[in-house]
Chain A
Amino acid sequence: MKGRRDLLRLGAGGLALLAGCGPRDVGRRDDVIRLWVAPNEAEEAFWKVAVARWNAEKRGLPVSFTTIPTAGNSEDTVLSALVAGTEPDLCTNIFSGFAVQLAALGQVVDLAAMPGYAELIARRRMEAVVPGWTQGGRVAALPIYSSPTLIWWRADLLEAAGLSAPPATYDEVYRFAGRYARPGARYAMQVVAGRSWQDRWFDFISFYYAASGGRPYLDGARALYADAAGLAAATFIDRMFRQGWTALDFDAAEPLVTGLAAGAVRGPWDVERYARTYPDTLARIAVGPVPAQGGGAGRGSTFSDAKGIVIFRSSRVRGQAFDFLSWVLGDEALNLFWLRRTGLSPARGDLLTNPRFAGYYRANPMARAYAEHVATARPPALSEYTIDVQKIMTSRLVEPLMTGASSPAAALADAVSRTDRMLEAQT
């Protein structure tokens, strides 16, 4: 009997050990600021220098950084760390929708309430950028960089069709498509970016922002895109498919490289990829705006795939962490160094007027094209329900337009009413 009891005790001990694997404060320190950064070579190189400078100048608590320990995506890793209690004090690479989810769960600090916030916004000239990251006066994450989406066109194909500059309006795209496209063989433009919910940022949402001048497509529990701009964007997508000027997908190969499509939505992150893999194609690329209706108020607006930095509520060094964040974001020399290392434009509104950045943009016309849109590019809607909103957008709006199953107006109305119902049910 005693033996059995021993065995039971052993088992109970094991279970207790397992139970101890639950969330708790692990390694929470107040003598160092722990920072996680995006796991890519360029960003890591920036943070290495920035952190070394901060520590060498003894500006505050020392900072220790590591890349986000992920093999897949950052959100899963951050979430696991939060549950396990192993999250750092600061974390970069946070997409705005995820920041809103973390804020709703009470896991991140409201940066707008931190002392020195207003000074940082003014010093970094973020007045035009920060409204897209503000919800109810609260800021869960501050954008480090802003990557607007623009259209890459094969300049040689445009020239062969008699165009000296990239098309900027729907009518210009239609005219070019009429000359270049051969249904089934080659297409004017890749209109739909893909099938997953994230792809909507790179097609309908980009088109909507361009058509609306950057108006939000979502406001709390209501979808806003059933308006003239939404109809214009949906009609553009519909017409491109109905005329055979675009294909259902371009999964087989890079369409710009093969010339299967003369234009496609691309971000600044593609510049380095093309420079490495398709340098010949990159040399023939002309960058144009996301098309909108002629004379529309929205010319120049587009979607911004920006990533931000958060301070976790569990941090014991919030104030010092914000001091570091404020220094690293607000220092112009560091912003320029970031730009040189990563090629991604810092999320500030004076990129083209500040002489410190002039040299870089003079030497990099493609980067300049993106910089021109940083102030007017808009991030995704700040919603906890991004996935559901964009899944509905996919299945009820974009897919019916691709196949011709619905008219633009009907698809738009259906998508918006379903989104509203879904949001109403959630809140």
Chain B
Amino acid sequence: MRSGRPPFRNRLSREAVVSLSLAGAYLIFSAVFWAYPFLWLARLSVTQWRFFDEPVFTGARNLIRTVQDPQFLLSLWNVVRFLLFYLPIAVGGALLVAFGLRHVGRGKAFVALCFLLSNVSSGVAMALVFTKIFSTTGPLNAWLFDWTGIRIPWTNDPTLAMLAIALVVAWKFVGYYGLILYSGLLAVPGEIYDAARLDRAGPLTRLLRITMPMLNAQLMMVLVFAILVSFGLFTEPFLITGGGPSDGTATPQMLIYETAFRRLQPSHAATMSILVSVVSYALIAVLRRLFERKVVLA
């Protein structure tokens, strides 16, 4: 017996079919590479599983174990220490790039691309190069030793090691952040600066009262990117310092990798990864609330 309603396909407009097809590709991609792993992650975090057995529900045991794990807490603290170095270096450098680009006449695109090169370079190759540069027997220290008679133990002191990693990561991202800020600078109307000059506002006043507030959206974007980079750090500390000295550069991602694939404790690692996501999103939310401003040109 046939229903009186037209077939499903006939009831969908051509536009709806096209839209569904286009959205479908994304939805399938998300289902396979995001939703499925995420559901597994969520399941693992409340179960005990060691790759080959059936997951056994353990409730909050993984959570309690993880929040009491000193290595995990230290890795989160290391992210904060990294941000303390990274944010000023990366944001300061990006501002310099952005202001510098404003003064470049011909070949602006070429200069911008040069800054982006570091961003698309292999993290592994860069880490190996910087390992040699920062070595106590490397060229930087050899030059310093010749001039001053001292050597800086870049990778052998917890604070200097973190600074070294921040410098390497900043070198990678400063051009990218700089271009984001540069796009913001281009959007600031020149008339505002003209009016400020008429009011006898000096360069510093114009920077602090006009440029920086007008760049708020871009600065927040850079801040969010920087925080995500910090919580996702793996290659540089893994290759340059191995997480040392004294676990002073061990990051959550390194710990998650080791816990899942070296200690063979995927449930513990899954809980760590969920907690890292929660902490990173919470930090972003707090900073947005504190610093994000809606800029409206009257």
Contact = CB atoms under 8 A, between A and B. Distances in A.
Contacts of A384: 264
Contacts of A391: 243, 247
B99 interface: no
Nearest to B9: A3
A399 B32 CA distance: 44
Interface of A: 2-3, 6, 14-15, 18, 23, 75-76, 79, 82-83, 101, 105-107, 184, 194-197, 199, 247-253, 255, 260, 384-385, 387-388, 391, 394-395, 399, 402-403
B137 A105 contact: no
In order of increasing CB-CB distance, the 6 nearest A-B pairs are A3-B8, A196-B242, A252-B138, A195-B242, A251-B135, A252-B135
B261 A251 contact: no
B52 to A, nearest CB: 6
Contacts of B28: 14
B52 A82 contact: yes
A116 B262 CA distance: 33
A394 to B, nearest CB: 6
6 contacts: A79-B261, A184-B151, A247-B136, A247-B137, A249-B137, A252-B132
A105 B5 CA distance: 58
B266 to A, nearest CB: 9
B153 A248 contact: yes
Contacts of A249: 135-137, 155-156
Given A248-B153, A394-B244, 5 more contacts: A18-B36, A105-B50, A249-B155, A250-B137, A385-B263
A252 B133 CA distance: 7
A83 B247 CA distance: 31
A250 B156 CA distance: 12
Nearest to B5: A2
Is chain A's binding surface mostly helix, strand, loop or mixed?
helix
A352 B245 CA distance: 42
Contacts of B8: 2-3, 6
B201 interface: no
A260 B247 contact: no
B253 interface: no
Interface in B246-298: 246-247, 258, 261-264
Which of B36, B138, B151, B244 neighbours the largest number of chain A CB atoms within 10 Å of its CB?
B244
Contacts of B50: 105
B247 A18 contact: no
